[in-house]
Structure 1
Amino acid sequence: MTRATAWWHELSGSAKYRLYSRLTFQAAIAGLVFALTVAADSAVAVLGIVVGGIAAMVAVEAQPDFATVPGAVARPRMLSIATAILVALWVVSGIVAHLAAAESTVVGARVVGMSAALLTIFAVIPFTRRKWWILIALSVATAPVLGVPLGAGLRGTASLLLAGIFAIVLTLLTVWALGIIDELERTKGVEAQLRVAEERLRFSRDLHDVVGRGFSAIAVKSELAVALSRAGDIDRSTAEMEEVRTLAVESMGQMRTLVRGYRNIDLRGEVAGARSLLSAAGCELVVEGEAAKVPAAFHEVAAWAVREGTTNIVEHSSATTATLALGGAGMLLRNDRPQGSIGERSGLRGLGERLAAVGATLDIATSGDEFTIEIHWENQ
């Protein structure tokens, strides 16, 4: 029982509905076979109906639309063999009905032939391409093939047509529902993939912001240490290298925290870090306003903007002066002597995505001697 329960829970919603639909069709065919055998008056007729019922159930079992795995057929020959058996029963019944002398044998043959036609209508025809034409042809041909008198033949033809219309409509509705469920399953899969891709993009963006800032600072301070060492200022060179070591340790710690998903970032700390980093790179940072003026809801994204903007100045400019303005309506970071094109700065694209997520906007302006990042959240 535990295995059966586990197997059921492992099936997808689409597979469960396919299994339910298949079993429903099988149960309907079994009920039809039972009703037909009750009406039969000879053992041979009962045997023929049972054989036809088994073939019909095999045909349903082999239908790709009802496969637990969409589009899969476990035994491709099953459908052909089952259809051939039903056709053979229909043809043989017609031959016997025309050649037999005993009335009971003729009646039994007609019952088996009509049953074969009815089972074919339920188990095979609804799944074919030209189902309506095949239904009409089989319904019209059955009475003459079985030698049924005109009046009874017309009633039999009408009954087969009505049964076929019901079976085809029911099958079309079932297949349509299966298609909707399959589409929902695919949509869920695509949504899951998009969430994974979004999370990977977010992680790569965060990693760029964290590592880029640290590596930029390490590169600048290392160059400064080398220059001081060559100039003979060993004490300052040693101090700078100690700061490089500290930055490396901090960057490693931030990366570990990022991987764990519990990274925190502080606007005041980022402003102080920006001033220190730009000073080491030979750029004076002028800060206008205070971090307290920035709305609390935007403190984190503002901190990321300061971090990315500072990294951008170090990597893409030879700036000597920069201005950071913080206020209740937005913030601005401007530097002189920019280098390179905006398209090369993937970090700014990531920053734009962060801002869009909280409803803020990013404007970038550049000229030959000035680069400006301006952020607005005054409507929040």
Structure 2
Amino acid sequence: MVQVGPAEVNLLGWWRSRGSAARFDLFVRYTFYLSYIFLPPLLIIGFANEVSTVALAVLVATVLAYTVISFRLVHQGLEYNLGRTEFPRRILTIHLLITAAILVAGQLAYPDPLPGKPDSPGDGISVIFLVLAVTTYSAVLRPRTLILLGLLGGAWMLLTAPPGHALFISLMLQFLVAAFRSTLWMLKIVWELDRSREVRANLAVAEERLRFARDLHDVVGRNLSAVALKADLAAKLASRDRSAAAIDEMLEVRQIAQDSLDELRAVVSGYRTADLTAELAGARSLLASAGIDCRVIGDVTFTGEPAGALGWAVREGVTNVLRHSEARTCTITLRGKVLTMSNDGASSSAFRFGSGLTGLHERVAALGGSVTATPEPPNRFVLTVELP
């Protein structure tokens, strides 16, 4: 049985705790960083025997120092391209000046080819630092600027090295630009997808909260209005020594409260729907209890989600009639999938599109329908819900 140590467990847990975008981010960063580890030794070994030991030591030290500043520039460039920091203008300028100085110093130190060889050690130094520079700038600059720098690097090699070598180096630089920029482009897309997924999840949570608030408003709003109405009616009956009728009203209050509890449980469970036929019957009964003459014109000829949406419309309309008007008449007209509720006793100056109507609009809009709520002179209010 293979035993795993604490270090391996911590490393594995750290890796698993990172999302896919964060893992790909690490892959891209280490693709850049590993280039500084593997490319310079391979290129230095190629002409190590062509320079003195002192010159080789100076070259290795220069490469190490150059790698350090390149690491820093790559990090800031990646953060800039991901929109997390400002453009690293200062360190980029320093890096460009250092690169130019190294290229010129290499050619001045070794201007001529060695005997029996087509190129000089200065050409090899140019290749090393041009490759490192293009790798670094790929994390910072735009593709057009990178292509231009690659062409300038090829032109530099054309001035100092044989044409065949210069052409090869120029093509290699352009290949590095394409490879690293495409990787960086994919990294940006992965992070954007990750942010989109997070935004989508947050929107789903927000939508569910709105749904819950809308359902809670619809359920509690009308039922509490009914409880207040019934309780007030029972109090008036009791004051007139009509205790039997008052008891009946209070029993209805208890029934409404019990029904409200059941509906609240259904809302929490997320399965509550409004039945249009039941809502129409409930509207007629509740408005009659409030002394409002309610007429229902038309019949329910469909079921399913559209009927449920119109059921919520009836519920919201009745709530508004009880809360915000002194109505004496209310007419509910149903023609196909168009519901119209009209009542008198409304005040146009007090009209506002509240949370209940907003929630109803959201419900109906999800089905491709529309909601209009308008006051009409002199004191009427008309609610129209139309489904496709």
**Structure 2 length normalisation: TM-score?**
0.74
Match of 2:191 among 177, 182, 185: 182
Tell me what 2:23 maps to. 16
User: Structure 1, residues 168-204: CA drift from partner, whole Å, max 9, x if none?
Assistant: 3443333333333333333323322322222222222
**Distance change >3 Å, CA 303–CA 111, structure 1 → 2:** same
Tell me what 1:147 maps to. none
Tell me what 2:130 maps to. 118
Matched, 1:331 2:343: no
Cα distance in 1 for partners of 2:135, 2:27 equals 16
Cα distance in 1 for partners of 2:295, 2:317 equals 14
2:292 counterpart letter in structure 1: C
Deviation at 1:270, TM superposition (A): 1.9
Gaps of 5+ in 2: 1-7
**Contact residue 324 and residue 331 of structure 1 kept, 8 A:** yes
**Contact residue 157 and residue 169 of structure 2 kept, 8 A:** no
Match of 1:268 among 273, 277, 284: 277
Tell me what 2:312 maps to. 304
Other structure's SS at 2:48 match = coil
Tell me what 1:37 maps to. 44
Deviation at 1:258, TM superposition (A): 1.1
**Contact residue 26 and residue 60 of structure 1 kept, 8 A:** yes
**Contact residue 127 and residue 169 of structure 2 kept, 8 A:** no
Tell me what 2:5 maps to. none
Cα distance in 1 for partners of 2:233, 2:176 equals 84
Deviation at 1:112, TM superposition (A): 6.6
Deviation at 1:308, TM superposition (A): 0.9
**Structure 1 length normalisation: TM-score?**
0.76
**Distance change >3 Å, CA 271–CA 15, structure 1 → 2:** same
**Distance change >3 Å, CA 237–CA 69, structure 1 → 2:** farther
**Contact residue 288 and residue 324 of structure 1 kept, 8 A:** yes
Cα distance in 2 for partners of 1:344, 1:204 equals 16
**Contact residue 235 and residue 246 of structure 2 kept, 8 A:** yes
Tell me what 1:220 maps to. 229
RMSD: 4.1
**Contact residue 274 and residue 309 of structure 2 kept, 8 A:** no
Other structure's SS at 2:268 match = helix
**Distance change >3 Å, CA 267–CA 21, structure 1 → 2:** same
**Contact residue 21 and residue 191 of structure 2 kept, 8 A:** yes
**Contact residue 135 and residue 161 of structure 1 kept, 8 A:** yes
Other structure's SS at 1:374 match = strand
1:16 counterpart letter in structure 2: R
Match of 1:208 among 210, 217, 231: 217
Deviation at 1:217, TM superposition (A): 0.7
2:26 counterpart letter in structure 1: L
Moved more, 180-189 or 3-12: 3-12
Matched, 1:232 2:244: no
Cα distance in 2 for partners of 1:142, 1:329 equals 77
Match of 1:313 among 311, 318, 321: 321
Query: Could you tell me the percent identity over the aligned residues?
Result: 31
**Distance change >3 Å, CA 127–CA 26, structure 1 → 2:** closer
**Distance change >3 Å, CA 226–CA 272, structure 1 → 2:** same
Match of 2:253 among 202, 221, 244: 244
Gaps of 5+ in 1: 144-149
1:370 counterpart letter in structure 2: R
Tell me what 1:146 maps to. none
Other structure's SS at 1:343 match = coil
Other structure's SS at 2:161 match = helix
**Distance change >3 Å, CA 53–CA 253, structure 1 → 2:** farther
Cα distance in 1 for partners of 2:262, 2:164 equals 86
Cα distance in 2 for partners of 1:37, 1:52 equals 12
User: Structure 1, residues 45-95: CA drift from partner, whole Å, max 9, x if none?
Assistant: 66556556655655347523446994669xx99999999997886677567
Matched, 1:322 2:356: no
Deviation at 1:347, TM superposition (A): 1.7
Deviation at 1:3, TM superposition (A): 4.6
Matched, 1:374 2:381: no
**Distance change >3 Å, CA 297–CA 252, structure 1 → 2:** closer
Residue correspondences, number: 365
